[in-house]
Amino acid sequence: METTLRGVGVSHGVAIGEVRHMGTAVLEPPAKQIPAEEAEREQGRARQAVEAVAADLIARGNLAGGEAQHVLEAQAMMAQDPELIADVDRRIAVGSTAERGVYDAFAAYRALLANAGEYLAGRVADLDDVRNRIVARLLGVPMPGVPDSDEPYVLIARDLAPADTALLDPTLVLGFVTEEGGPTSHSAILARALGVPAVVALPGAGEIAEGTVVAVDGSTGEIFVEPSQEKRSEMESASAARKAALTAVTGPGATSDGHKVPLLANVGGPGDVPAALEAGAEGVGLFRTEFLFLDDSKQAPSEEKQIAAYRAVLEAFPEGRVVVRVLDAGADKPLEFLTPADEPNPALGVRGLRSLLDHPDVLRTQLTALARAAEGLPVYLEVMAPMVADRADAKAFADACREAGLQAKFGAMVEIPSAALRARSILQEVEFLSLGTNDLAQYTFAADRQVGAVSRLQDPWQPALLDLVSLSAEAARAEGKSCGVCGEAASDPLLACVLTGLGVTSLSMGAASIPYVRATLAKHTLAQCERAASAARAADSADEARRAAQAVLSGE
């Protein structure tokens, strides 16, 4: 009998197939004591396992490329964390086996992360995956991971670690469903990059029996268990129509009556550029430069290394627009040379621009590298600061840009409610705004962007969040300046129309989403988008806002 479940759709498309479950996590190793003379040998085993797992993660990253590579390299650094390794050594020295020492040390660190605020708590799944891989190697059992199958299937898991998501084979994994996670989790971002339909935050997904046929709609978040033939045909027809619409619309982003909405790509480095170009991105709306810094948490990359990475991206978009976000460190991206180690809540502490203003040499080197990278290129370079709270922050950043001799537009990210509320004041110091809707939702609703239990508050359709977007866009329009969106909200085609109706002037997203957004915008006039935006803001919940906008745009 057909039943319907609803999670959070995070990657467009339809998948219909039999369920396969993710391999189970490693069992807890026994807590037995070892003689003192075996401690050194056990410490050596632990270190070898750690290095092997780190090397495997890096190798997986090299195979995957793009943003996945940066995520997996960050996981490898997590495995090799000196404090964690020192804790493992201490536990083995007092009698633990290598596997038990690793398990307990990671458990202690896990507890710290889980209680350390929104961003770091969101990395618990990544940490668990690293622990499981190390313990599995020490126990000599198979690594947890995707199941072996010769036939295509829909993967169901409690959560998916980046190491698993990055190397999913789209010819076998038709789509995936997780019980946990949120729309901005690593797995969701990588799913969009792979073009695999995905639904997250679906409680009870693990109870769907192995081999059960399900139909997954990655756009709506709906899961149909044992779908009828009629439902399958309906979804397949809708999917085919959607794909046909994608190929029918090409060129720059615009509404049906010619209102231009540039569609830009979010990238983490040169590896993400080919997909952006293939999708027809008109430029880069968010260049996440922090991935370059995560290669070595102890020191910043040299100016020459930065120049090479920046220039590779800038050269790919001659006469296009490239918006670079300067280093956004802190919270879930701690760097030993930059961020405090003893903050009680890093997500609310010295993060983003605050870190850079405390270390002006790091900011100056990055801005100088950007200036040199752009020399002689016809690209339109724009540079923006993360986590701007007020006009003082904006002025400090603009002053630093000018002092570095940067010939570019200077902008501010709107990720904190105060920045949206005082956007017009901030625009006295900078030339554009860019809305990071992921963090803006997190800070508006006090809802961790990685925790499935609060995913309804991370929904970018929340009317309160739309109000803040509207305030920012209105401020930019009043000042004759631009206001884009570079958060994951821009990847939702229906929401892209609403954002356009709110006055947003450009949309930036993962490359895989660009064709969907382009095709949907092309079907509606600016006036329709504005009416849909008004209807969404008048609603009292995210679901009501989505339905209200859909009704307007479908002519109901």
Catalytic residue ranges: 186, 486
Phi, psi of 100 (to 5 degrees): -70, -35
**Beta-carbon count within 10 A of 278 CB:** 12
- For residue 19 the two structure tokens come to 């369920």
- For residue 221 the two structure tokens come to 């978040």
Q: Please, what is the Cα angle at 462 between 456 and 466, to 5 degrees? A: 155
Q: Which long-range contacts (CB under 8 A, 24 or more apart) does 489-493 make?
A: 489/437, 489/438, 489/460, 490/437, 490/517, 491/192, 491/516, 491/517, 492/460, 493/12, 493/219, 493/517, 493/519, 493/520, 493/521
**Which amino acid would we find at residue 296?**
D
- For residue 289 the two structure tokens come to 């430069």
Q: Give the H or E element holding residue 372.
A: helix 360-373
Q: Do strands 198-200 and 173-178 pair parallel, antiparallel, or not at all (unpaired)?
A: parallel
Q: Are 347 and 331 in contact (CB under 8 A)?
A: yes
Q: CB neighbours of 316 closer than 8 A, spacing ≥ 6?
A: 270, 273, 276, 277
Q: How far apart are CA 150 and CA 519, in angstroms?
A: 35
| DSSP-assigned letter for residue 400 | H
Q: Do strands 506-509 and 482-485 pair parallel, antiparallel, or not at all (unpaired)?
A: parallel
Q: How far apart are CA 513 and CA 452, in angstroms?
A: 22
H-helix segments, 404-525: 417-421, 423-426, 437-445, 455-458, 463-479, 493-502, 514-521
Select from 52, 69, 60, 251 the least CA-distant residue to 133: 52
Q: Which long-range contacts (CB under 8 A, 24 or more apart) does 418-421 make?
A: 418/389, 418/390, 419/388, 419/389, 419/390, 419/472, 420/468, 420/469, 420/471, 420/472, 421/468, 421/471
* 372 alpha carbon, distance to own chain's centre: 29
Which of 365-395 are b and which e, b meaning 16 or more Cβ less than 10 Å from the residue's Cβ?
A: bbbbbbbbbbeeeebbbbbbbbbbbbbebbe
Q: CB neighbours of 332 closer than 8 A, spacing ≥ 6?
A: 119, 120, 122, 123, 346, 347
Q: Do strands 14-21 and 213-217 pair parallel, antiparallel, or not at all (unpaired)?
A: antiparallel
